[in-house]
Structure 1
Amino acid sequence: MEIIRIDSSNIDHEHICCAISDKKGDPCVSSKKNWMKRQFENGLVFKRLNARGKAFIEYIPAENAWCPIDGDGYLFINCFWVSGQFKGQGYGNDLLQECISDGKAQNKKGLVVVSSAKKIPFLSDPKYLKHKGFQVCDTAEPYFELLYLPFCEDAPKPKFKECCKNAFIEEKGMVLYYTNQCPHTEKYAPKIAELAQEKGQIVKLVKIETVFQAQNAPSPFTTYCFFSDGQFVTNEILSESKFGKFLEKKGL
């Protein structure tokens, strides 16, 4: 199946996999596409199967990544997802090879991606990546792993910045950091704030708007990182029901 590249010339009429069509009043697609448009000039690449469904890879030079890492000279994989009917057919291998080929053509040192010790929602599958030759080059609390695929043996190892390694912030209460790198955050971040307000609670929303902010964030996964009383809770985008269960566990 053909792999196509989404760029400034076709983004307005092509879908972006994880949010296929605009619905009236739903900010998902427009927020993600607007974020992508701003990042194209920074080297963002988005490639997907020419099909309706979730099979794509998105990457950017690590110097411009929305992630607190030191990895100059690498390509950083933002998101790599193959699901549903496309699994088990080699499409993931094809998409990854596109990224590898691009990196080598640009004389990059290798690829780097944030994953986890075990499979975690919204993070690339560590088992698959390690099978493809990725190695752990750094870790961050509570479960994050930085994986890299060097193109030469003496390539320096990327690493997490200290700001994101301890899964802790000084601020108390519930705090959510998020970006529009995922199309669903613009919808679900305000929803948990609204639900908290209904319970007489406050969720402080901190929207990361710049590369500088992202590269100095308190969690490796800047797309969505939720803290409660200073402690990291999850990188998983919380639906209203999941957030409701979280509040119940806290007795709220």
Structure 2
Amino acid sequence: MNIITISHENLDKEHICCAISTNTDSQVSSKKAWMAERFADGLVFKKGDVRGKVFIEYIPAEKAWCPIEAPGYMFINCLWVSGQFKGRGVSNKLITECINDSKSKGKKGLVALSSKKKMPFISDPKYLKYKGFLLADTAQPYYELMYLPFEENYEKPCFKSCVKSAKIEEQGFVLFYSNQCPFTEKYVWLIAEIAERKGIGFRVIKHENTEQAQNAPSPFTTYSLFYNGNFVTNEILSDKKFEKLLSNLGVI
């Protein structure tokens, strides 16, 4: 499998590896627009030359859409290998590409958002540990910041204080999201419409730029749902999952 690097020149014609097939889909167009704006910040998107979810996306930590302090590191936004491509060494190939590229750019190491156990849309902690990543910091309720220093004496990255408690002051449902993931644009408004029909207070806050994302109340700025001030989930909810959540919370 060959690895392709996405750039301004080939962004429109290349499939961006998620389970959406056409550029006319609002989810794809929103993701590609987000990528196009981030290339100037040093965003790198490398994918296998296949029609599938085989890619790694990373960016200098100073420009990462994650509330962290990690000067000199490279932050992995997402590493995804799925389906028939699993178990073929593809993840190792992609992360090796990231390591070599980051070293060539003089970076101190890699940083990735993970969790105490495997959670949807977040890097697998077992795999990161297998690749030599170490625990740098934690944030409620289950987030872990993992790092792979290229030299032993490099300082640990850390979360910003704004994400430590997993709480906000606002009551009702508040959903923070960004277009870093192409799935969000569709599903955010799907559940917002359900809440409106049921007369449930629901506010959507979209991270439009790096500064907003770096001061978010949760590390996973792609999608974070709060209810009555407390963090609920980072999982991108379908209509059925949202209905189930409302029932579990006793809202309906």
TM-score normalized by the length of structure 2: 0.98
C-alpha distance in 2 between matches for 1:198 and 1:95: 44
Partner of 1:15: 15
Which residue type is aligned with residue 103 of structure 2? Answer: K
RMSD, matched Cα: 0.9
| Residue equivalent to 2:30 | 31
Deviation at 1:20, TM superposition (A): 3.8
Aligned-partner SS, 1:156: coil
Written as runs of structure 1 = structure 2, the 5 A alignment for 1:196-207 is 196-207=195-206
CA distance in structure 2 between the aligned counterparts of 1:9 and 1:202, rounded to whole angstroms: 43
2:83 corresponding residue in structure 1: 84
Q: Unmatched 5+ residue regions in structure 2?
A: none
Whether the 8 Å contact between 2:173 and 2:202 is mirrored in structure 1 is: yes
Q: Give the corresponding residue for 1:59.
A: 58
Aligned partner of 2:246 in structure 1 is 247
Q: Secondary structure at the match of 2:237?
A: coil
| Identical residues among aligned pairs (%) | 62
Could you list the runs of 5+ residues in structure 1 that have no partner in the other structure?
A: none
Amino acid at match of 1:105: S
Q: How many residues align?
A: 251
Q: 1:20 to 1:194 in 2, by over 3 A?
A: closer
Map 1:53-202 onto structure 2 (within 5 A). 53-202=52-201
**How big is the shift at 1:198?**
1.3
Counterparts of 1:22 and 1:178, CA distance in 2: 22
Partner amino acid for 1:122?
F
Q: Secondary structure at the match of 1:92?
A: helix
* C-alpha distance in structure 1 between counterparts of 2:40 and 2:34, whole Å: 11
What displacement does 1:247 show?
1.0
1:19–1:183 Cα contact (<8 Å) kept? no
SS in 1 for 2:37: helix
Residue identity matched to 1:5: T
SS in 1 for 2:218: coil
Deviation per CA, 1:65-120: give whole Å up to 9, x if none.
00000001000000011111000000000000000001110110000000001000
AA at the equivalent of 1:9: E
TM-score, normalised with respect to structure 1: 0.98
CA contact (8 A) 2:19 2:52 kept: no
Report the equivalent of 1:5: 5
1:218-233 to 2 correspondences below 5 Å = 218-233=217-232
* Aligned-partner Cα distance in 1 for 2:19–2:32: 10
